[in-house]
Amino acid sequence: MMDHLYLGSSRIQVSVIGMGMWQAGGTMWGADVTDENCIQAVIRSSELGVNLMDTAEAYGGGHSEEVLGKAIKKVGREKLVVATKVSGSHPRYDDVLKACDLSLRRLGVDQIDLYQVHWPDPWQQIPLKHTMKAMEKLYHDGKIRAIGVSNFGVRDLEEARSILSHAEIVSDQVKYNLIDRQIEEEVLPYCSRENITILAYVPLAQGALTGKYGQNLKPTDEVRKDNKAFSESNLREMSGLLRVLRDTANKRGKTMAQVALNWLLSHPGVVPIPGAKNAAQAEQNAGATGWSLTKDEIRTLTETSDKTKLDYF
């Protein structure tokens, strides 16, 4: 039985692990990604109790939303919590409203459960108040059930929250995994204190924590080919952490990916949203739930991660 938690202060219950749909945006994740396989991944995830599906208008110019929309028809709208995002390049008030209508159409739903601002606007210098007031209007109009953000630091969160008058920010979607733990300094403590759920994207570091890749095998797809986590020096630096992941996985009868995801699950209020290219990967992701690492295992993984210093320069 899949465990659930409330999304921040909302009454929306989500599975403790979700599914990210970035890979459904097209072939940028590799030629082995197909729409039908992504749909089957959603179906299998739902069968295993995973209800949170996260996409964005920016993924393949809306293609990911269309794929999820097809999956929703097969699974049933009532079985899924649908989350999507307005692009950070659409910060103007009217643009947010238009983007939401287009997302609703592509998803084939009457209401989005969680609508998120994908990232703060760093280029057009549109005041955040315009974006957040539009989000609040969508909330009051019933087009969305809850407001979330993504890639927001504490200062961004505080500003965004101060603008809203009659709604709360219930989640912040940020990068978080065993080799990317920057949010632990400010964002994670703040969100924990303020009851804002963390949606952890790339929770497997785009595959670097799965044990699949090494010096002789590196991803070549458009998204990951330039990811410095897969450089020879960084792969060497990660060898100790990967060894602990492998040893723990072997001892527990799990995969390395499941151990890495379960480490995230040990943090209250953190919901990892790994992607899945097919039903088999969906099954593996769901298998990260229903069991718990011991305190000693968590401590060993954390301490080994502390010693792993990757070079992203």
Report pLDDT digits (tens) over 33-72: 999 999 999 999 999 999 999 999 999 999 999 999 999 9
Quick check: 256 pLDDT over 90?
A: yes
Residue with tokens 């603008």: 163
Q: In whole angstroms, how far apart are CA 105 and each of 119, 193, 199, 225?
A: 22, 36, 24, 33
Quick check: 215 pLDDT over 80?
A: no
Give the per-residue pLDDT at 217.
77
Q: In whole angstroms, how far apart are CA 133 and each of 51, 79, 166, 171, 196?
A: 28, 30, 10, 17, 19
Question: Domains (ranges, CATH) in the chain?
Answer: 4-210+255-292 (3.20.20.100)
DSSP 111-138: -EEEEEE-S--SSS---HHHHHHHHHHH
Q: What is the mean pLDDT of the chain?
A: 95
Give the per-residue pLDDT at 121.
87
Q: Are 112 and 56 in contact (CB under 8 A)?
A: no
Structure confidence at residue 117 as a pLDDT band (50, 70, 90) = very high
pLDDT tens per residue across span 174-207: 999 999 999 999 999 999 999 999 999 999 999 9
Give the per-residue pLDDT at 138.
98
Give the per-residue pLDDT at 262.
98
Q: Are 172 and 8 in contact (CB under 8 A)?
A: no
Task: Give the catalytic positions in this structure.
Answer: 59
Quick check: 20 pLDDT over 90?
A: yes
Q: Output 280 or 213, whichever has higher pLDDT.
A: 280
Give the per-residue pLDDT at 220.
79
Give the per-residue pLDDT at 218.
80
Give the per-residue pLDDT at 274.
98
Mean pLDDT to the nearest integer, 243-264: 98
d(CA 113, CA 52): 10
Mean pLDDT to the nearest integer, 139-144: 98
pTM of the model: 0.97
Name the nearest CA neighbour of 121 among 89, 151, 148, 95: 89
pLDDT tens per residue across span 220-245: 777 788 888 888 899 999 999 999 99
